[in-house]
C-alpha cells in the first residue's frame, strides 16, 4: 500500500475527482468541499487549502482510499467501491501519524467510520465517541402532493434582523454551540452566495433552507430551520420541497441531504417529500490525548 500526502489542492483534485464521482451522492460532502478548494473562492477559515490535509492510499495505479480534512473539522473518507480495506486504513492512519497529523473526528459511511475509528484509536491510544448517527438521502423527483406554501425567495439584506438567531438555533439543534456573533459580516456572507432561501407566509419569514454544496450533478440541501413557535404548519416540508424542485429545474439530477437518525420527525418529513435513503453515516469524535512526540 502506498500513502500519498498532498500539498496542492489542484493535484489532489486531478487524482481523486473522477474516483469520488463514482459515488457522487454519497460523496457530496467531500466532493463539495474539494470543489470549493479547487475553485479557490472565499479562501478563509476552513476554506483555506493551505491548512487542508489531503491524502490517498493506493496500490499500483488503483486508489483504494481518499481522505480530506479541512481543519478545524475532522476527516472525511471514501473507500472506493465501498470496500472497507483494513490494510488501506492502517496505511492511512500510520501515514497521518508519521506526518504528525492528529485527527479530531471522522465522518463517512457507517462501516468505514467504525473501522477507521477502531484502527485509529488502537494505534493512537485514544477513545472514540459517536457525535451523530446520520442517514444520507437522495431525491430525484419531488412529491407533487407536498403543498407549496407561501412565497419562496432568496435571502436578502433585510433578513439579517433574524437570520443570526435562526442560525444559532439551528446549530444548537445539531448539538453545536454557536452563539450569535457581533460580527455581522459572517451572516452577510451566508446571504451573498445566493444559496440561502427564505419561506414567507402572509409576508412573514417562517422557515429557511440552503444549498450547502453543489457538484456536477447534485445539490446538497441543509440548514432547514423553522422557529419552534411556527412548527407543525408544514413550513419545513414546503421550504425543502421548494428548493429541491428549484435545483432539479436548474438541470441537476438529484438533491442530497443528511438527517440526524435520532430525529424521526425530520426523517419522516424528507421521505414524504421524495427523499430515499442511500446509506447511513457516522460522525465519530476522538477524545484529546497527548501530542505526537
Asked if residue 35 and residue 6 are part of one domain, the reply reads yes
- Domain for residue 71, yes or no? yes
- Domain for residue 59, yes or no? yes
Under 8 Å CB-to-CB from 215, ≥6 apart: which residues?
21, 24, 28, 31, 32, 35
Asked if residue 124 and residue 19 are part of one domain, the reply reads yes
Per-residue cell: 248: 432539479
Asked if residue 61 and residue 122 are part of one domain, the reply reads yes
Measured distance CA(268)–CA(254) in Å, rounded: 19
Mean pLDDT across 67-83: 95
φ, ψ dihedrals at 59, nearest 5° = -135, 125
Measured distance CA(201)–CA(207) in Å, rounded: 9
Domain that holds residue 195: 151-273
- CATH number of the domain that residue 261 is part of: 3.40.630.30
Query: How big is the CA angle at 56 (ends 54 and 60), to the nearest 5 degrees?
Result: 150
What's the total number of domains in the chain? 2
> What is the reported pLDDT for 178?
62
- Domain for residue 53, yes or no? yes
- Domain for residue 111, yes or no? yes
pLDDT tens digits, one per residue of 107-164: 999 999 999 999 999 999 999 999 999 999 999 999 999 988 999 999 999 999 999 8
Asked if residue 128 and residue 13 are part of one domain, the reply reads yes
- The b-or-e profile of 231-244 (16+ CB within 10 A means b, else e) is eeebbbbbbbbbbb
> What is the reported pLDDT for 174?
64
Mean pLDDT across 266-273: 93
Q: Which of 234, 41, 258 is nearest to 138 (CA)?
A: 258
Task: Judge contact between 261 and 133, C-beta under 8 A.
Answer: yes
> What is the reported pLDDT for 175?
58
Strands in 111-225 per DSSP E = 128-139, 151-154, 196-201, 204-214, 218-225
Mean pLDDT across 249-256: 97
Question: 9-21 and 28-39 helices cross at what angle (nearest 10)?
Answer: 150
Asked if residue 121 and residue 47 are part of one domain, the reply reads yes
- Domain for residue 217, yes or no? yes
Task: Judge contact between 266 and 222, C-beta under 8 A.
Answer: no
Asked if residue 157 and residue 268 are part of one domain, the reply reads yes
Asked if residue 118 and residue 20 are part of one domain, the reply reads yes
- Domain for residue 218, yes or no? yes
Question: 86-98 and 110-124 helices cross at what angle (nearest 10)?
Answer: 50
- CATH number of the domain that residue 61 is part of: 3.40.630
Asked if residue 199 and residue 128 are part of one domain, the reply reads no
- Domain for residue 292, yes or no? no
Asked if residue 125 and residue 194 are part of one domain, the reply reads no
- Domain for residue 293, yes or no? no
Q: Answer yes or no: is pLDDT of 293 > 70.
A: no
Asked if residue 129 and residue 9 are part of one domain, the reply reads yes
Arithmetic mean of pLDDT over the chain: 92
> What is the reported pLDDT for 287?
85
Asked if residue 175 and residue 123 are part of one domain, the reply reads no
Q: Answer yes or no: is pLDDT of 41 > 70.
A: yes
The single-letter DSSP state of residue 65 is E
Measured distance CA(29)–CA(74) in Å, rounded: 12
Q: Tell me the three state secondary structure of residue 261.
A: coil
Asked if residue 11 and residue 119 are part of one domain, the reply reads yes
Confidence of residue 180 (pLDDT cuts 50, 70, 90): low
Q: Answer yes or no: is pLDDT of 25 > 60.
A: yes
- The b-or-e profile of 81-111 (16+ CB within 10 A means b, else e) is eeebbeebbbbbbebbeeeeebbebbbbbee
pLDDT tens digits, one per residue of 4-21: 999 999 999 999 999 999
Q: Of all residues in the chain, what percent carry a pLDDT higher than 90?
A: 80
Per-residue cell: 138: 437522495
pTM for the predicted model, two decimal places = 0.89
Q: Of all residues in the chain, what percent carry a pLDDT higher than 70?
A: 95
> What is the reported pLDDT for 42?
73
Confidence of residue 263 (pLDDT cuts 50, 70, 90): confident
Under 8 Å CB-to-CB from 123, ≥6 apart: which residues?
90, 93, 94, 97
Amino acid at each position: 500500500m502506498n500513502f500519498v500526502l498532498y500539498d496542492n489542492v489542484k493535484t489532489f483534485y486531478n487524482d481523486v475527482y473522477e474516483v469520488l464521482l463514482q459515488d457522487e451522492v454519497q460523496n457530496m460532502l467531500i466532493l463539495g468541499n474539494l470543489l470549493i478548494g479547487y475553485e479557490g473562492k472565499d479562501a478563509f477559515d476552513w476554506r483555506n487549502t493551505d491548512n487542508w490535509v489531503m491524502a490517498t492510499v493506493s496500490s499500483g495505479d488503483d486508489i483504494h482510499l481518499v481522505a480530506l480534512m479541512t481543519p478545524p473539522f475532522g476527516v472525511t473518507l471514501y473507500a472506493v467501491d465501498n470496500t472497507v480495506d483494513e490494510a488501506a486504513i492502517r496505511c492511512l492512519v500510520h501515514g497521518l501519524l508519521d506526518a504528525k497529523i492528529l485527527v479530531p473526528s471522522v465522518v463517512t459511511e457507517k462501516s468505514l467510520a467504525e473501522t477507521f475509528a477502531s484502527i485509529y484509536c488502537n494505534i493512537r491510544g485514544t477513545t472514540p465517541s459517536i457525535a451523530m448517527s446520520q442517514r444520507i438521502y437522495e431525491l430525484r423527483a419531488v412529491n407533487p402532493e407536498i403543498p407549496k406554501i407561501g412565497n419562496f425567495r432568496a435571502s436578502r439584506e433585510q433578513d439579517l434582523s433574524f437570520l443570526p438567531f435562526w442560525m444559532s438555533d439551528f446549530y444548537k439543534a445539531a448539538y453545536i454551540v454557536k452563539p450569535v456573533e457581533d460580527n455581522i459580516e459572517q451572516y452577510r456572507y451566508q446571504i451573498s452566495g445566493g444559496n440561502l432561501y427564505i419561506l414567507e407566509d402572509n409576508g412573514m419569514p417562517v422557515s429557511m433552507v440552503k444549498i450547502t454544496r453543489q457538484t456536477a450533478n447534485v445539490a446538497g440541501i441543509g440548514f432547514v430551520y423553522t422557529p419552534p413557535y411556527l412548527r407543525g404548519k408544514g413550513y419545513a416540508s414546503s421550504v425543502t420541497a421548494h428548493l429541491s424542485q428549484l435545483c432539479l429545474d436548474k438541470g441537476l439530477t438529484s438533491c442530497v441531504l443528511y438527517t440526524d437518525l435520532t430525529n424521526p420527525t425530520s426523517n419522516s418529513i424528507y421521505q414524504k417529500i421524495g427523499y430515499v435513503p442511500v446509506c447511513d453515516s457516522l460522525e465519530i469524535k476522538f477524545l484529546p490525548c497527548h501530542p505526537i512526540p
